[in-house]
Amino acid sequence: MKGKSSKAAAVGSAAAQLTRAQKLELYYWMRMTRTLEERLVALYRQTKVVGGLFRSLGQEADAVGACYALERRDIMSPLIRNMGAMLVKGATPVEILKQYMAKGDSPTRGRELNIHFGDTERGFIGQISPLGDMVPVMAGVTMTFKMRGQDRVGLVFVGDGATSTGAFHEGINFAAVQKLPLVVVVENNGYAYSTPTHKQTAAAQFVDKAIGYGVYGEQADGNDVLAVYDVTKRAVDRARAGGGVSLIELMTYRRKGHAEHDSQSYVPEGEIERWAAENDPFDRCAAMLRDREGVSPDEIAAIDARVHQEIDAATDIAEASPPPEALDALIGVYGEPAAEKPLWFREGGAALTEHERAQGWGTYDTGHV
Ligand SMILES: Cc1ncc(C[n+]2csc(CCOP(=O)(O)OP(=O)(O)O)c2C)c(N)n1
């Protein structure tokens, strides 16, 4: 409901329209996420990973289920724990492994770490590290969609900690006022680094913040991949139809530390084990596939085996890749001269060139600010 938060509806019509094959695909992407992260842990312990390693253990359903609701033309901005969303959007295990190992032919040629890379063709953009800052960035991206009259939606992932930053507030407020086609997914996994949620917000639940911004708000069970898909698909459809911003809170739990080096000494005894035993997204997805789609244990085992084979092959390729050459550091530092490139708007509403018009660009009077 607009301007109101609402508790998660039970899995609704959007998820009910998914085919058996699509549900198996959701399982495949979740399995790919978990197994690829496990492989990265092994490489990390062999000191082959450069920098930190960030896991999404126990919250794989969020990244996969939410991103599955997007079309290829839509743009998604992940956080460090949303590798699954990048996989769904078309990032390959080879790219991710090379990037984590800072190889010379990795997407950023060894300059950035983990999943800090993007590809607008496939619809994901590289995150910037300051928490919350991707919200105003995605407000800008979706404003461009709106000004160009494009049928495209943006989705930005933020953690519970990120919602307490100024950038989050400014970004969602601006997007709300401009009625931009933006879906803000707040992954509430209980902790921001070592800070439990109740120590960084006085709000009873993050979805309540939707009221203050005048946007739609819904909360869903983040460990149920169908519920995640369902709530996100509704928000994406609403954005595409001109209904503006939605804030979705996904209730989940971070079973690993902030990064691989974090011992989680601040976590109360038994909490992690309880979530693992009672609320693992895989167990729940496998039970759903068995009970609703008649999927056999053999079918599940076949997917698991396929994922392992794909990751083995990707690891061989990534490990064999060379490190960066020192002189590579000079490549791509400066852009090509922009003289040939038309601007996407004309200040003061000046006439568009034929080329701009053909591409569907518009005029935008910026005034004299
Ligand atoms: C503005 C800012 N402050 C601090 C940090 C350091 N930092 C990186 S991740 C993180 C915790 C993130 O927590 P949350 O937003 O809840 O996401 P989660 O890691 O739980 O997925 C912190 C404090 C940062 N990157 N940016």
pLDDT at site 181: 98
Distance from the CA of 278 to the center of ligand 1, in angstroms? 27
The answer, yes or no, to whether any atom of ligand 1 lies below 6 A from the CB of 255, is: no
**Which ligand 1 atom is nearest residue 133's CA?**
1
Closest residue CA from atom 20 of ligand 1: 192
d(CA 351, CA 355): 12
For the cut 60, the answer to whether the pLDDT of residue 362 exceeds it is: no
Domain ranges of the chain: 5-334, 342-369
For the cut 90, the answer to whether the pLDDT of residue 5 exceeds it is: no
pLDDT in tens, 57-105: 999 999 999 999 999 999 999 999 999 999 999 999 999 999 999 999 9
pLDDT in tens, 18-56: 999 999 999 999 999 999 999 999 999 999 999 999 999
Distance from the CA of 176 to the center of ligand 1, in angstroms? 24
What secondary structure, in 3-state letters, does 208-231 show?
HHHHHHCCEEEEEECCCHHHHHHH
The answer, yes or no, to whether any atom of ligand 1 lies below 6 A from the CB of 100, is: no
pLDDT at site 209: 97
pLDDT at site 330: 80
**Which ligand 1 atom is nearest residue 192's CA?**
13
The answer, yes or no, to whether any atom of ligand 1 lies below 6 A from the CB of 159, is: yes
Confidence of residue 1 (pLDDT cuts 50, 70, 90): very low
Closest residue CA from atom 18 of ligand 1: 159
pLDDT at site 332: 76
pLDDT at site 337: 58
d(CA 234, CA 216): 11
Confidence of residue 178 (pLDDT cuts 50, 70, 90): very high
**Which ligand 1 atom is nearest residue 258's CA?**
19
The predicted model gives 289-299 an average pLDDT of: 96
For the cut 50, the answer to whether the pLDDT of residue 358 exceeds it is: yes
Closest residue CA from atom 21 of ligand 1: 159
pLDDT in tens, 250-273: 999 999 999 999 999 999 999 999
For the cut 90, the answer to whether the pLDDT of residue 335 exceeds it is: no
pLDDT at site 334: 76
The answer, yes or no, to whether any atom of ligand 1 lies below 6 A from the CB of 129, is: yes
Distance from the CA of 253 to the center of ligand 1, in angstroms? 15
The distance in angstroms from the start CA to the end CA of the chain is 36
Characterize the bridge pairing of strands 154-159 and 182-188: parallel
In this prediction the pTM is 0.89
Distance from the CA of 169 to the center of ligand 1, in angstroms? 15
pLDDT at site 368: 34
The answer, yes or no, to whether any atom of ligand 1 lies below 6 A from the CB of 53, is: no
The predicted model gives 196-209 an average pLDDT of: 95
Q: Which residue has the tokens 């800072």?
A: 102
Distance from the CA of 132 to the center of ligand 1, in angstroms? 9
For the cut 50, the answer to whether the pLDDT of residue 206 exceeds it is: yes
The best mutation among 77, 79, 193 to test binding of ligand 1, ranked by most ligand atoms within 8 Å of the C-beta, falls on 193
For the cut 60, the answer to whether the pLDDT of residue 159 exceeds it is: yes
Of 35, 131, 47, 49, nearest in space to 87 by CA = 35
The answer, yes or no, to whether any atom of ligand 1 lies below 6 A from the CB of 39, is: no
pLDDT at site 172: 98
For the cut 80, the answer to whether the pLDDT of residue 344 exceeds it is: no
Distance from the CA of 277 to the center of ligand 1, in angstroms? 27
Amino acid at 129: S
Closest residue CA from atom 23 of ligand 1: 193
**Which ligand 1 atom is nearest residue 193's CA?**
11
Q: What is the CATH number assigned to the segment(s) 5-334?
A: 3.40.50.970
**Which ligand 1 atom is nearest residue 197's CA?**
16
pLDDT at site 331: 77
Max Cα–Cα distance, the chain, nearest Å: 66
The answer, yes or no, to whether any atom of ligand 1 lies below 6 A from the CB of 194, is: no
**Which ligand 1 atom is nearest residue 162's CA?**
15
Q: Of 8-22, 177-191, 199-213, which range is least confident?
A: 8-22
pLDDT at site 329: 81
Of 118, 209, 131, 194, nearest in space to 168 by CA = 131
Q: What percent of the chain stands above pLDDT 90?
A: 82
Distance from the CA of 340 to the center of ligand 1, in angstroms? 40
User: For residues 197 and 207, is the Cβ–Cβ distance under 8 A?
Assistant: no
Confidence of residue 327 (pLDDT cuts 50, 70, 90): confident
pLDDT in tens, 277-292: 999 999 999 999 999 9
Q: What percent of the chain stands above pLDDT 70?
A: 87
User: For residues 174 and 213, is the Cβ–Cβ distance under 8 A?
Assistant: no
Closest residue CA from atom 17 of ligand 1: 159
pLDDT at site 355: 66
Q: How is residue 354 written in tokens? A: 């034929």
| 241 secondary structure, DSSP code | T
For the cut 70, the answer to whether the pLDDT of residue 346 exceeds it is: no
Of 217, 240, 242, 221, nearest in space to 230 by CA = 221
d(CA 33, CA 55): 9
pLDDT at site 8: 40
